[in-house]
Structure 1
Amino acid sequence: MFESVIVALWAMLPAYVPNNAAVVVGGGRPIDGGRTIGGRRLLGDGKTWQGTIGGTLSGILTGVLLNLLAVGLPIDGLVPTFPLLALLGLAGGAMGGDIGASLVKRRLNRERGSPVPGLDQLDFVVGALICTPILAPGWFFDTFSPAVVLIVLVITPLLHLGLNVVAFRLGLKNEPY
């Protein structure tokens, strides 16, 4: 069980980093260009090209750094190394999941930053877990056993909420969830 927790956290780091990095590097032009559906913004000002690209690149860079760290450490052989397509699936999928959640929230008439429990904590995980097996199926199914997926689904909401509270207290987010 302990090994599955280590693998889950390690394998998901390239998906965990992008949304947090997007907050830091974001800004600029909104992805939706101000477009509306039914009088409501498609995504809103919080989803920008700069944040999406910066977040995705930060996730990819995280995976590259993890690949370098794994070599020679006691965890070498326990944790996976990341092929580029897996990193693109994890990081890009995480950002895509977050964008999809924003679209859903706008359709539910929720304002930017308003909570939708469950969706807010797992949107990026779902995006990563959908995109990665499409781009790197062999790596995904070798890495994400049912136990690892279950651990990811249980531990991610706790990590997400904890990091959001920290970002809120640092003034990087407007809400602590």
Structure 2
Amino acid sequence: MLKELLLAIVIYLPAFVANGSAPFVKRGHPIDFYRNFIDKRRIFGDGKTFEGLALALTFGTTVGVILSKFLGYDWILISFVESLMAMLGDMTGAFIKRRLNIPRGGRALGLDQLDFVLGSSLALFLLGVRVNVIQFIFIIVIAFVLHTFTNNVAYRLKIKSVPW
């Protein structure tokens, strides 16, 4: 059982690294090009930038390069796609928050912590990487706890403007 849980961490590591690296970009070019949706609110907001996406994909894929030494070279591609889908999940979360009129940095409990996990899980499923229910639930718990902890640390280090 412990082996399965540790394997889950390894499988999701590219997504965790990608999601955790994007906030290191302080300023950049917004992915939504400052455009509004039909509800007159920003599509994603200033927090989702091309530079943040590039950094996330670079770091997440780098994890895949390291994992490929142990799991096979296909993990480079798996890690890239997993990182990309994690970031698309994060952008989907931002899109939903804007529709709910939650400003950038505003709290959306659950959505803030799990959007990237759902995106990366979809990638893993589509790529044929099997994760069982116990592993998935474990990752959700880990993501929630780690997200809460790391965001608090990032806030104290002035990397983030809010502690969530």
| 1:26 CA displacement | 5.3
Letter in 1 for 2:121: L
Residues in 2 aligned to 1:146 and 1:111: alpha-carbon distance in whole angstroms: 33
- Report if the CA contact (8 A) 2:18-2:60 is conserved: yes
Is 1:149 aligned with 2:136? yes
Match in the other structure for 2:88: 96
- Report if the CA contact (8 A) 2:68-2:75 is conserved: no
- Report if the CA contact (8 A) 2:113-2:143 is conserved: yes
- Report if the CA contact (8 A) 2:67-2:75 is conserved: no
**With structure 1 as the length reference, what TM-score do the two structures score?**
0.85
Q: 2:145 aligns with which of 141, 146, 158?
A: 158
SS for the counterpart of 1:16 is helix
Is 1:29 aligned with 2:29? yes
Residues in 2 aligned to 1:85 and 1:133: alpha-carbon distance in whole angstroms: 14
Unaligned runs of 5+ in 1: 71-79
Match in the other structure for 1:131: 123
| Number of matched pairs | 162
RMSD across aligned positions (CA): 1.5
| 1:87 CA displacement | 0.8
Is 1:115 aligned with 2:126? no
* Percentage of matched positions with identical amino acids: 36
**With structure 2 as the length reference, what TM-score do the two structures score?**
0.92
Letter in 2 for 1:158: V
| 1:61 CA displacement | 0.4
- Report if the CA contact (8 A) 1:26-1:48 is conserved: no
Trace 1:50-69 onto structure 2 (pairs within 5 A). Answer: 50-68=51-69
Match in the other structure for 1:74: none
SS for the counterpart of 1:83 is helix
Match in the other structure for 2:6: 6
Residues in 2 aligned to 1:21 and 1:157: alpha-carbon distance in whole angstroms: 17
Distance 1:93 1:55, change over 3 A: same
Q: Which moved more, 1:20-29 or 1:113-122?
A: 20-29
Residues in 1 aligned to 2:134 and 2:81: alpha-carbon distance in whole angstroms: 20
Letter in 1 for 2:59: S
Match in the other structure for 2:154: 167
Residues in 2 aligned to 1:159 and 1:147: alpha-carbon distance in whole angstroms: 18
